[in-house]
Structure 1
Amino acid sequence: MSSDEILRLNFIAQTIVIYAGSSMFICGILGNIVNIFLFTFHRQFKSLSVSRFLLFSFFGSQLNLLSAFLPQLISRITGNDPLVKFEMLCKLRWFFGPVTGTVALHGICLASVNHYLLSLQNIRYHRWITQRRSYFICLFVLFYSVLFISPNLIYFTHWINTSNVTTCDIINPIAASYNVYIGLIIYSLIPILVLSILSSLIWFNIRKIIIRRNGIEQTITRLLVGQVVMVLFTTIAFAISRIYFLYTKNFWKDSLRLAQENVASSVMLLFSISTHCMSFYVYFLVSKMFRQNLYHIFYKQKRQIQPMVALQHTVHRI
């Protein structure tokens, strides 16, 4: 009975990642592409200073899906883990994955800081984050993310575990502890604290001046608040699971408990990647103006294409 239960739980874990994970991966890639397009080319969105930080976050999320989640998805679908075949791929996955994930989350934090300054009544704070400064701030975040995660390029390697299976992991216990704690701090605790505090302050300030805000500023506020709530929910869930696995990593666990944790780990993986997949869909749900602008762009493109097609038919007849 125990053996059947273990097989069933492992099957559930694999099914969760393959089907739900594949769907979220595809939706996330498409959603990030649309977000990048809108905040790069749409006249209203690209004119706002907060858009630069959001774009920084969107690019980080897109690269995180490709560098961190895609190898896991390939491993679950095919049964062959590419990380255990090529040592360099093992190192790069555990370098680019955390770096891009940190960039994506801290980009949202920077957008929240920017929007908090814009929500203050003193107008001199509105001019504090200029276009030039925003670029330097983004480069600084990228620099310290690379700096803190760079040990992964050295310490992640191939090794054979007690089951005689080659895995991609850290052998050095000090480096392993550093990787866990630095990931917990910069990927979970810092974003949770910053977003929790700033979202409360922004909401308090916006309630006092919301009538005087123009339409696009109100839209950005709704988009940012919706995204912050989503990120807080998913990041807190990820942090709780990270703390649990950190606390229990030295405990002896039987096969049944390992199978149960495999299911929980698969669910937490979905929570983790949803941070990088769901921004576009949260925006679409919370903001009517976002939906209208999206519809206007695609409808306008369609209307531009149709006259060209009609003209081609006319020329062909002549």
Structure 2
Amino acid sequence: MWTTNEFIVFQRNIFSVLMPVIIVAGTLGSILNIIVFSISKKLRSSPCSLYFIFASIGYVIYLNIVALLRYLQISFNIDPSVQWSWFCKLRYYAIGFLLMLPRSYMLLAAIDRYLMSKSGQHRLSSYPVALKMILLTFFFWMIMCVHLIIYFDIQISSNGTNRICMNSPGSYSTFLSFYSLLINGLSMPLLMTIFGLLTLRNTQQHRNQIHNTMTLILRRRKKQEWLILRMLLIQIIVNVILSLPVTIYLFYAGLTQYYKKSMFRIFMENYVYNMFTLLQYINAAASFYVYSLTSRTFRKELYCLIVYYSSKLKQYMIDRPAALLTRLSHNIAS
């Protein structure tokens, strides 16, 4: 049986190895997502691409703020949130806000695909509607997460020696348990799953009709829409799987919050929760690699963009020295 110190050392080693990989790979992948969905003519033709772009932006910020602070805290015991009250408040506000924002955009993408799969609902799937929903969602979560700023602050631990950034005890702790379970844990994965299944059902029902009645141009456009749908559905499956352990933990924590627990049990519960948060960080970093592995169109568009801009850069590297040499020769001749 390991001691608590051995558990802490093991967790620190895991975070020290995995977190830099997750942050760097996730940031690079999200940036490539933004580039591909912004530039590719095939993929940007769908309003759903806007949700992918802003979800990727949210994941970049999440990884480089929330994940980076957790990495510094666990691996190097660097935690500014126990030093400054304002930092404590903003840190947990950022956790709540940046955790929900990309998930909400993925949910909006699922709703967009559901509307596209229903006849007569295409007018609701457009760029103006997508931009409005992106802004409304942004401001919605800005307001919804204000309670984290109000009730989180630096607290003194039960032994009176350690400073901890945590929520106020009492009724707010009960509210936060149900909020975390219902909003963070259940709502997003459940709604994504529901709209994903409904979209699959509608797609199967209308596939033969679409194939027989549509013109060639519209058929090609629909084929692109189905490709984007497949990328989204697989991303939803990955999101639900990686969110499930944290959801189960939140459910357990809500059920046992009034139980008397030993210090070792409290330590192990916090330890398990920290390990489960790794899955959330992996989920934030996974979208590019999910799209690359599951969509030939995405890989092809990425490859074309890499080849195009590589040739541009190569041409620039050739033309630039030649231009400088020509200018130098002209100056010498003058």
> What is the TM-score of this pair, normalised by structure 2?
0.86
SS where residue 196 of structure 1 aligns? helix
Determine the C-alpha separation between the residues in 1 that align with 2:131 and 2:10: 44
Match for residue 199 of structure 2? 202
Answering whether residue 141 of structure 2 is matched by residue 145 of structure 1, we say yes
> Against the structure 1 CA distance between its residues 135 and 307, is the aligned structure 2 distance closer, same or farther, given a 3 Å change threshold?
closer
**How do 1:18-97 and structure 2 match up within 5 A?**
18-97=16-95
Bigger Rg over Cα: 2
- For residue 236 of structure 2, the aligned residue among 228, 232, 243 is 228
One-letter amino acid matched to 2:162: V
- For residue 286 of structure 2, the aligned residue among 260, 278, 292 is 278
Answering whether residue 277 of structure 2 is matched by residue 269 of structure 1, we say yes
* Structure 1 unaligned spans of 5+: none
One-letter amino acid matched to 1:136: K
SS where residue 80 of structure 1 aligns? coil
Determine the C-alpha separation between the residues in 2 that align with 1:47 and 1:136: 18
**How do 1:241-256 and structure 2 match up within 5 A?**
241-256=249-264
Q: Does structure 1 retain, via aligned residues, the 8 Å contact 2:186–2:247?
A: yes
Answering whether residue 179 of structure 2 is matched by residue 182 of structure 1, we say yes
Match for residue 314 of structure 2? 306
Q: Does structure 2 retain, via aligned residues, the 8 Å contact 1:31–1:280?
A: yes
One-letter amino acid matched to 1:198: F
> Against the structure 1 CA distance between its residues 260 and 153, is the aligned structure 2 distance closer, same or farther, given a 3 Å change threshold?
closer
Determine the C-alpha separation between the residues in 2 that align with 1:67 and 1:97: 9
> Against the structure 1 CA distance between its residues 263 and 166, is the aligned structure 2 distance closer, same or farther, given a 3 Å change threshold?
closer
Determine the C-alpha separation between the residues in 2 that align with 1:147 and 1:28: 27
Match for residue 173 of structure 1? 170
Match for residue 265 of structure 2? 257
Determine the C-alpha separation between the residues in 1 that align with 2:197 and 2:251: 26
Q: In the comparison of the two structures, how many residue pairs are matched?
A: 314
Q: Does structure 2 retain, via aligned residues, the 8 Å contact 1:16–1:266?
A: no
Deviates more, 1:237-246 or 1:202-211: 202-211
Q: CA deviation at 1:313?
A: 4.8
* Structure 2 unaligned spans of 5+: 212-218, 330-334
Match for residue 216 of structure 1? 224
Answering whether residue 127 of structure 2 is matched by residue 131 of structure 1, we say yes
> Against the structure 1 CA distance between its residues 67 and 314, is the aligned structure 2 distance closer, same or farther, given a 3 Å change threshold?
closer
One-letter amino acid matched to 2:30: N
Match for residue 101 of structure 2? 103
Q: CA deviation at 1:258?
A: 4.0
Q: Does structure 2 retain, via aligned residues, the 8 Å contact 1:219–1:290?
A: no
Deviates more, 1:12-21 or 1:292-301: 12-21
Determine the C-alpha separation between the residues in 1 that align with 2:302 and 2:125: 28
> Against the structure 1 CA distance between its residues 198 and 143, is the aligned structure 2 distance closer, same or farther, given a 3 Å change threshold?
same
Determine the C-alpha separation between the residues in 2 that align with 1:146 and 1:306: 44
CA RMSD of aligned residues (A): 2.2
Q: Does structure 2 retain, via aligned residues, the 8 Å contact 1:32–1:62?
A: yes
Determine the C-alpha separation between the residues in 2 that align with 1:94 and 1:8: 28
Determine the C-alpha separation between the residues in 2 that align with 1:67 and 1:172: 26
Q: Does structure 2 retain, via aligned residues, the 8 Å contact 1:105–1:187?
A: no
Determine the C-alpha separation between the residues in 1 that align with 2:130 and 2:177: 30
Q: CA deviation at 1:298?
A: 0.8
Determine the C-alpha separation between the residues in 2 that align with 1:216 and 1:56: 20
> Against the structure 1 CA distance between its residues 139 and 264, is the aligned structure 2 distance closer, same or farther, given a 3 Å change threshold?
same
Determine the C-alpha separation between the residues in 2 that align with 1:131 and 1:312: 40
Q: CA deviation at 1:177?
A: 2.1
Q: Does structure 2 retain, via aligned residues, the 8 Å contact 1:44–1:216?
A: yes
SS where residue 249 of structure 1 aligns? coil
- For residue 162 of structure 1, the aligned residue among 155, 158, 170 is 158
> What is the TM-score of this pair, normalised by structure 1?
0.90
One-letter amino acid matched to 2:312: Q
Determine the C-alpha separation between the residues in 2 that align with 1:176 and 1:262: 16
Determine the C-alpha separation between the residues in 2 that align with 1:168 and 1:131: 41
Deviates more, 1:83-92 or 1:299-308: 299-308
SS where residue 206 of structure 1 aligns? helix
Q: Does structure 2 retain, via aligned residues, the 8 Å contact 1:106–1:141?
A: yes
Determine the C-alpha separation between the residues in 1 that align with 2:150 and 2:41: 44
